[in-house]
Structures are given as structure tokens and as C-alpha cells.
Chains A and B, each alone.
Chain A
């Protein structure tokens, strides 16, 4: 390792130092404001260090990590999303009179895990990154410990994530034992062969690894935990699980499969296609009968990952751009949606019942506007970035002639309209419920600013997405 490598590693170093600083500061002087400030400074430093590292891109630092523009782009995305979550968490935690300082430390370590994942080119960094991310999440979900449901959600997540980590590491071991490779490039020819005609042990190893990945992405049939955890976790953590955690794993998947060209008849392709279809169908259908906004968002995210897999299966550069674009759109949209839930939550309970949103347009006009824009973006309506994202995914699928998948996507996203519009109707058409114990806290200044900025993002890049597309094209072009 040379001093040049250290410069390349700067983003990771910044993400490592910041939680330590936050923790030490909390040890000497407990201040919520200080913790948030240090966190934001650290995240800003990470962003700055990305530009420094960008001057020497394409570097492989040890066999474990590759800092190409692709990795830097994703680290940037994760960092910005973390900053948004941190600000949204502020008023959420502030109202609850818990000691919130370590919360930010956990948020930062989780992001560090995500950053390792997006740069990973080796099983070791893959597993390390995933564990750093997961272990931080266990604690984050249960952080405001005063409510039983948080504990329940955390235990559920802990048990399932622990089990799938075991699957993952066992799968890696099997692949290594048979092939002697642990690198992404070494894995490519094995993946290209699909699952058929291979050594059973290797095939089993790959399946086990995919189980681990599938669990993190919460695609069907590994989705069972999502609604419970989304509902049980504090709203800002829900936002984090839905975006950063899934996004990092998907970026990793995209990188590992980048050199792989799957034959559309191979069993590996069929497995992915089946998972994609099952996720789109189950996600959208299960959301129909929900009355809990957090659970609706959970099922909607299952469906969205299904859409993403369609673009992922299309393979090729356009597909990688499509996946990344959709992911950026999904990040922004999900952050707004969960941000609204978090902002309206009171210390007693989160604003998760459909009734909490009745007449929101009358009581909090701008919050309702932001939520409406986010819901329309999730539904893929024009003028929002969600429309461009879905359009891009369908384009990628059409380019690869995946007609069956696209038709399922189209039909299921039409079903999706129904439950998104239900929330919209609740906000705009229904009257506020006077005598219910309506939640609806005042939206804090920081949250309002984040929501406004993200909503503006949804609309601006929904109308004029060209700059974002060009940026993503540049990032994806550096994949080996």
C-alpha cells in the first residue's frame, strides 16, 4: 500500500474517523446538536474527499476494493442519503428525550459498511461491508428502546440477518473451496455459466450467496421481514434500511454481474426473472390491503426492487445506467416518503395509520404536497423523477427484449396506482378526524428543508433528467 492508495481511500477514512469523533465527543460532552453537526461535517468531508479521490480513479486498492468512478458515485449517493436521514432524525429524536448522540455514530458506521460494499471486488470486503452495515442496523432499529415494537423489529432483523449472513459466508466458502477464487473477476466466468452444467458445490455456493443478497434486497421470497421491520423501526431508520442498505447491496450485485452475460435460458437468469416477477406481483398485491402507511411503503419497496431487477437482467451499459438512475430516483422518493412519516410522528407513536393522513392537505399543505409528489413519483407519473426512472427501466428491458418481464412490470405498477392513490385521497379528499388522537407534529425546520430540497429534486430531474443521466453514464463507464 502506497501513500497514493491512502489518498484514494480518503472517503473511507473520512467515514471511519467521523463516527470515532462523534463517539468521543459524546463521551465528554453530551449534546445532540454537536453530534448532528459533527456528523454532517464528517459527511461533507466525505463528499469533498470523493473529489480528491476522483483525481486518481480506477485504482484497485489491495485486491479487496476498487475505487473507480462507479464506486465514488455510489459512495456519494449513500453519503448524501445518510445526511438526509441524519437531518430527518434530528427532530424525531429530539422530541423523544433519549440520548441520541450514539445514534449518529451507528448511522455513520452503517454508511461505512455500505461504502465498502459498493467498492468491493472481493468476498472478504463483501462480507466485511455487509456485516458492518448489518450490525449497525440491529442497534439502529432498536435505538429508541422505550417502545416494545422497536425491540421486536430489531430481534426479527437480528435473527434473520444473522442466519442469512451464515448462508452467505458458507456459500462463499463453498465457491472458494471448489474454484479457489474470491474475487469478482474470478467469479465472472463461473456466474456466466449460469447454474447448469456446473459442479453442484459451486452451484450451491452461488445459490447460498444469492440468498444472502436477496435477503438484504428484500425480494420475494426473502421479503418476510420487510413489513415488520419497516413498521417496527423508527421512521428515519426505516428510510435508511429502504435506501442506503438496499442501494449498497444492489450496487455490489451490479458490479459483480457487470462482466457476466447471462444467457436468457440459463437457470440463473430464470431464477432472477422468477424473483423479479414474484417481487413485482407480491409487493403490489400485498400492499393493496394494507392500512398502515409504513407497511404500504415496505411492500412498495419490494415491488420497486422487482422493477430494478428487470433492468438488472437487461444487462449491458444502458441497463446499468437504468438501474442506477432508478435507484437514485428511488432513494430520493423513499426519503421524502419516510421523511414525511418521520416528521409527522409524535413521541407516542409514528404517523403510520392511514387515518393520520386524513385531511393533511388542509392542516399541513406543503407536507401534503411533498408526500403527494413522492407518491406520484413512486407510481411513476410524469413530472417526477420516478416517471423517468420507470421509463428508463422499461427502456432497458425493451432493449434486451424482456417482453414478459416488462408486461408484468406494467400490469403490476398499474395495481400499484391503487394504493398510492388511496393515500393521496386520504390526504386531499377526506376530512381531518377531529376526535381521534391524531398525530401530526409540527415539522421541524431541518426536516422541512430536507423535504423541500428532495421534493425539488424529484421535480427538477423529472422534467430535465439529462444532467443526471450524463453523470451516471460517466460513472458506469468506468466499470471494468
Chain B
């Protein structure tokens, strides 16, 4: 009975979404205050019903209700409680429900946070969000009902995919969804501006913090996924340019471009139509990612063609949401041209170039991800587009972007003397070149051209970011928090670049067979194999190796990689064991028994790999600082008069 209530709640939520979508938009068009006022209560109601459905599904997992098909497929009585919770979003149906819940959460946040905005504008934003929610919920109810019952419930469930039984993966999907679903808010703001036919600097100030919040969560979500892949997949790689990864990375790249373009629209009132296009594009890429991941088209175009119900529905959803927005854009955007000049050395040009490189990178990744699908669908042959392609096409726009970033941070709006700019960055540039060339030389005593370029770029970004804080510290001045956000986020990017370059240039990987009592050398470390023991987990059995990690004869730690076999889904899983420090990770994965007591092992030494995720975390922290700047907190206050407006902008 209870799961049916969940389904009923979902259907009610669809109804409320339609009310939230249609009435306020219509009311805004005909200036009917009563219909406009429906937006907020409808949004709250929608959230409540989606949350009820979500809670009921979670209860079905916690109470082992295997009469629900989705629970039977993805849970088991022996599954630890934490993973029962995570299993709610562990497969298709539940993850769509999470998608809806996250969107409903954003909608309520907007309903509350938009109280200071003009009533009609807020109604339009909520209306657009309501229509998107209605689409996704309809999709869930029509093709992917998580509450479907089994006529004969099994005694026990099929268990959650062992790969997903991991703490990082329990929080990775919610983070990721909060991020890329969050771009729906920027999209709704853009459509609301197009419906109004008017876009001013105020609009950019309202939109910016929402966009940055979404970007911040997406940054953390992607970083978590990458970290999980690193230690759980057992290969020691951290990014595979897999289409599923690209699906979340493309909205991130375009969202980053959007954040920068919004800065110009807020400060100068320029690039209005471009900013709108980016807002539409970013959320469209989120939807495209959902299509790619959820339709099965990635496994094979033919698998998709065999069971197209889900894929076609999302494709139609994508087409109608993006298509409507683009038509509106084509009709309305041309009225939004603003006057305002700038010269070649100016922040406007720096941010324009930032956008060109980020959009270029997004387009290249998008093209590389979709090209094999189109080629296959056209019957023109099957090809694979993998890391060798993406690494090249991604570096082409990224290297100039990193170089320009250090300059762009110090440019002035409108115009500035090139010599002034060069004088400002000469010390950071000098520091970057010296540190970037000498330190790796001393530390690793070898340096290739490409890794030198990467390391110097990373140092350059960090040094250029730190220039202003140092100058300020010397003059005892304080920066507004939004400025700090920019500095911290850019610093994080520099650290990330350093991590990526140093890891890929100086990584050591050894595949060897080893017997108890023997040891292997890697870098300045020595790994001794003590032996094996059997381990009994809650829902798996494992063989655990015991390895002593020594450096100069002293014990650093004992590493215990496992080879697991789960009770229900019996394919073997590799659980790597990692000793991590700021400067390096030592990674051991256990392979197969080779007979005679010998085991194959993979041993890796990865210098500075922590900087990759730490850098991403610092970027997200930058986003947090930027969104909590006081001028956004004031943005919810009643519309300021023109005089206070300029004051706000100066801050």
C-alpha cells in the first residue's frame, strides 16, 4: 500500500508542477496578480509531494520491501544501512527521482530567495522551473516508475552493484545533481528575461549567485567522482574521458564560461544576449548529459534503437525545452544590445577570450562525444574517440586560457595601459618560470618540454592569483569577498594544473608478480609482501594482502589491498590500498593468484596527485566566497534606488 502512495504523490506532484508552470506564466502575460501569486505555494506543494515520494522509496529500501521491483533489483538484506540509503539513487529510476527532488529543492530555494525580486519576474522564473519539473516527473511516471511492484516478490534482493558500495559514491550523485540541475535556475532566469524582453545589470546580479552555487556543487561532484574512480576502479587513473564523465564535464565548462560572462553583464551591462545564450546552453548540456547517461545510447546506438521509449522521451524533453528557449531567444534577444566601449587591453576582452576558449573546449568535447554516435547512426562505420583525442583538443584551448588568466585577473574594465599590466605581472611571471623550471629539476632531475609548460602554467596561475592579496597585505587594505572568491578559485585551478602535470609526468607504475617475503622497489620506497589473510565483510568475502611500505629502511605504513567477491553479484572487485600524503600517493592493487603463492600486483607512485582534488576543492571554496559576497545578500532586499545601485556596484 505504501509504495502506491509514493506513486500517487508523484502524480500529484506532476499536477502541481503543471499549475506552477502554466498559471503564473499566463498570469504574468495578462497581468493577473492572483495567478501570479500561485507560483510560490505551488512550488512548495510540488516539493512536499516529491519529497514524500522520495521518503517512501527510501523507506522501501530500509524495510527491505522486495515487492517493489526497483528495491529487489538494487538492494539486499545484508546490504549495510548506509548503502541502502545510497541505493535509492543507485540505478535509473531512483536517480531520476533524485533529479526531480533536487530540482524541486532548487525551486523552493528560488521561491524563498526571490522575495525581493519584482513579483512578475519571480513568477516567470518559477513558472519555467515548474514546466521543467513537470517534464522530468512525467518522464519518471511514464517510463521509469520506481514504485512498480513485482507479482511474486523474491526472498532476497539482487544487491546494489558492488562498485557503488562506497562512501564517496554515496554522496557523489547528489552533489553532481545539485550542480548540474542547479543550472536550471540560470536557465529559468534567462527565459524570464527573454519573456520580459528586458535585461539589465540587476538581472545579472540576481542570476550570478545562483549560477555560482550550482557551479560550486558541480565542481565538488565531479571531483568526488574522479576521486572515487581513482581508488575504486582499481586502475589508478583519475579521469578517463568516458562519455559519462564528459556528460557532467561539459555543463561545468560552459557554466564556467557563463559565470565569467555574467561578470561582464553585471559590471558593464554588456554581452547580454551572449550571456543568455550561455545560460540556455549550459542547462541544455545538463539535459543532454541526462539523455546520454539515461537512454542507453552510449552502450550502443543499437541498444538504444531496440528500446527507445526512455531515450525518445528525454530527447523530446530536451528538444522542447531547448527549442522553445532558442526560438524565444531568436525573437527577443536582438532588442538587448547595449552601448559601451572598451579597448584591446581591458577586462572585457580578457573575459571575452576566456569565453572563446571555454566554449571552444566545450564544443570540442561535445563533438568528440557525439561524433561516434552520429557516424554509427549514419552507418558510416564505428570509431572510438578516446583520451588521445580529448587530451589534444582540450590542451589547444586550455594552454592559452591559463596564460591569459594570469593577465586577465589584473586588467581594468574599459581600458588600461599595456605597460601597466605587464609591470603588474612581471614578478609573478618571474616567480612562475623560476619555480616551475628549477623545483621539478631538483626534485625529479628530469623535465620534458610539455611537463615544463604545464608546471610553469600552474605556477603562473597561482602566483598571478596571489599577487593582489600580497599587495593588499602590504598596504593593509581589505578586499570585498567576491574578489577573494575569484582569487581563491583561480588559485585552486593553478593547484589542479600542477597536480595533473606532475602526476602524469612523474608517475611510476609497476606490474609485477610477488611472493610472500619478497619486496619490490618503487621510487625511493620499498614494498614488502608479508602475506595474505581472509576477511569476512557484511556482504562479501575478501582476500587481503599485507604489504609493508618502507622508506630508507623505516616502516611508513602497512597497506592492505583486497580482492573482494560479493555474495550476490559474484564478479571479483579490486579494492586498492593507498598511502596518501601531500607530496605523493603510493597505490597498491592486488591482481590474481598466479599459483605457487605468487600474486600479481600493480604498484604506483603518484607524486602530487592530491593536488588534483584539493585544487578542485579550493575552486569550490572560491565559489562559496563569491556567492556570499554582501552585494548578493542585499540583492534580496527591495529594489534599491538608482543612487544605492551605483554604490552597490562599486562594492
Q: Do A and B interact with each other, yes or no?
A: no
